[in-house]
Homo-oligomer: A and B are copies of this chain.
Amino acid sequence: MIRKPGRETVPPGIRLDEDPDAEFLRRYDPTAFPRPSVAVDVVLLTVRGRELHLLLVRRSKPPEAGKWALPGGFVGIDEDLDAAANRVLDEKAGVRGVFVEQFHTFGKPERDRRMRIISVAYFALVDLGRFPVVGAEGNVRSAAIRMPGKDGPCGSAEVVDEAGRSLPLAFDHAAILETAVRQVRARLRDASVGFELLPETFTLPELQQVHEAIAGEPTNKDSFRRRMVGLDVLEPTGATRQFVGRPAMLYRYVGPSESRRSTRLPGKLTSPGPERGPDPGRPIRKPPAGRIR
């Protein structure tokens, strides 16, 4: 911490007159060497239909003014990095209390023309319901991400508007975005990031759609269902419907419980699970929302 006059920064429980470092700290001059600025940039992702979308803000000030950029901001001198990411997300997108995770720090000396800015990049995941609603023409918008899956031809991420036109991003934000998507894809394999992109209750087809949007390629239906129910982290509820067809079971994500995985029957499970009889009805009918299929 910066030692300002009139502000005590020594941790509680340490008496300056006993501390062997006290004399050193009193003489230390943090301004002896030039220091870079440190910022956070946040890749806020959601899944709309079959596509991964992110939030962009239009730069109003001169360095690359007018271009679209990731929401970001400088880290306060006494502010934790994670706190800065959450603050930026709140200030620029009005989003609070969502899943955020740091994934890489970008620091090429020439990445910002103003000065040396080192940017700690985060990704944040929200379901469409908590994603900020953006007007047709404002200083904040969402855009679809086009990034080929691992099977497709190699190429970097591209951000497109509704008409499919490519949107250029400011600074090195295209590279940041690409790294973010790679990271999220890597975590998708075994972690719970898929559930962060869905509301509290969801159907298995919706969960699969999220996974496919992240991975950028289709998934086998049967294998996906088996893997998900095999994880023992889903709890059934009622049933909802989409546009057409048979209604799908609604699930809720409950973390991996300790007591559940040891008691596994070797044969096929004959118990019907959590009681579909007593609470059969209530076929919630959600508005079509982002359903595309």
Contacts and interface: CB of A to CB of B under 8 A. Distances in A.
A64 to B, nearest CB: 7
A118 interface: yes
Contact of A62 (B24, B30, B78, B81): B24
A114 B11 contact: no
A92 interface: no
Contacts of A77: 33-36, 116
Given A36-B35, A102-B104, A105-B120, A21 B63 contact: yes
A65 B81 CA distance: 27
A277 B293 CA distance: 61
Interface of A: 1-3, 9-11, 20-21, 23-25, 28, 30, 33-38, 61-65, 74-75, 77-81, 102, 104-105, 107-110, 113-116, 118, 120
B38 A118 contact: yes
Instruction: Count chain B CB atoms within 10 A of each CB in A10, A23, A78 and give the residue with the most.
Output: A78
Nearest to A23: B62
Given A80-B108, A116-B78, A63 B2 contact: no
A35 B30 CA distance: 10
A38 B38 CA distance: 8
A21 B116 contact: no
A interface majority secondary structure:
loop
Nearest to A10: B113
Given A35-B36, A38-B35, A28 B109 contact: no
A117 B149 CA distance: 38
Contacts of A33: 37, 74, 77
Instruction: Count chain B CB atoms within 10 A of each CB in A30, A80, A104 and give the residue with the most.
Output: A30
A114 B34 contact: no
17 contacts: A1-B109, A2-B34, A21-B113, A25-B62, A25-B63, A28-B115, A30-B115, A33-B37, A33-B77, A35-B36, A35-B37, A36-B75, A77-B116, A80-B108, A81-B107, A81-B118, A107-B120
A180 B25 CA distance: 29
A255 to B, nearest CB: 16
B79 A109 contact: yes
A105 B102 contact: yes
Given A35-B38, A36-B77, A28 B116 contact: no
